[in-house]
Amino acid sequence: MRRRSLLGNIKKLGAPVFTTFELTTFSGKSSSVVIQGLNNLVEDGLIIKVYRGIWAQVGNEQLSPYAVIPYLLPRHRAYVSFISALYLYNIVEQIPQVITLASTSHTKLIKTKLGVFSFHQLTPKFFKGFDWYKASLPDRQGGGKFLIAEPEKALVDSFYLSACRKKQFGYFPELSFPRSFSFNKVKQWALRIPDPKIRAHVFKKIAAIKLGDVSIFPRV
């Protein structure tokens, strides 16, 4: 497939990240022809092979590690939560080395050319409290179309996970809550946790935060 034609089809897709399947369907060419052309563009430095079957345009203003998220678990929804969401909301200053996400799928770690993504399993009954990322959020390396927990839910998700994986989640140094942050919402989300033991654990964390005990916060 000719380079100019392939690049034209990639631009027409209108997304910083795309899949082999999307480009094959759009172009009407066979997957083998498309893949060969994509590999040539990788050698030319015009696109990046992000992960199996996932590609990205070099120099696209909307390209960020977060733009890859919707493509990583095609059969499951996932949303940015835990420390990554708190960072995007400007609640924590420490830049996460791994992008943390909640999903109903099994816990897994996916390494790509644009970043490392850690998916953590939540019970389906607690897989709520998220929406599409809005550009009005503080610009902290966000970009692309992806789901993100509301700030209160992201905090409760962190507490939730600390009850399940205490060895992995231990300490969160500094937190700065905006005026819009609602601890009443935090408690309401905690009440929705189905497991009574986890729910009790989370309420202990909420009580500790009221006393200013920052050592209770989990870190990935």
What average pLDDT does the structure give for the chain?
87
- pLDDT tens per residue, range 7-47: 899 999 988 999 999 999 998 989 999 999 999 999 999 99
CA pair distance 142, 155, nearest whole angstrom: 19
Helix axes 31-43, 20-27, angle to 10 degrees: 120
Q: What is the percent of the chain where pLDDT is above 90?
A: 66
Would you kindly state where each structural domain of the chain is located, as residue ranges? 3-57, 65-216
* Res. 141 pLDDT band, cuts 50 70 90: low
Strand partners, 17: 56
Total residue length of the chain: 220
Q: For 43-49, which contacts have Cβ atoms below 8 Å and span 24 or more sequence positions?
A: 44/3, 46/7, 47/10, 48/113, 48/114, 49/113
Say what the pTM is: 0.86
pLDDT of residue 139: 56
- pLDDT tens per residue, range 78-135: 999 999 999 999 998 888 899 999 999 999 999 999 999 999 999 999 999 999 987 6
pLDDT at position 214 over 50? no
CA pair distance 27, 65, nearest whole angstrom: 26
Tokens of 185: 């919402």
Domain 3-57 matching CATH 3.30.420.10: the answer reads no
* Res. 189 pLDDT band, cuts 50 70 90: very high
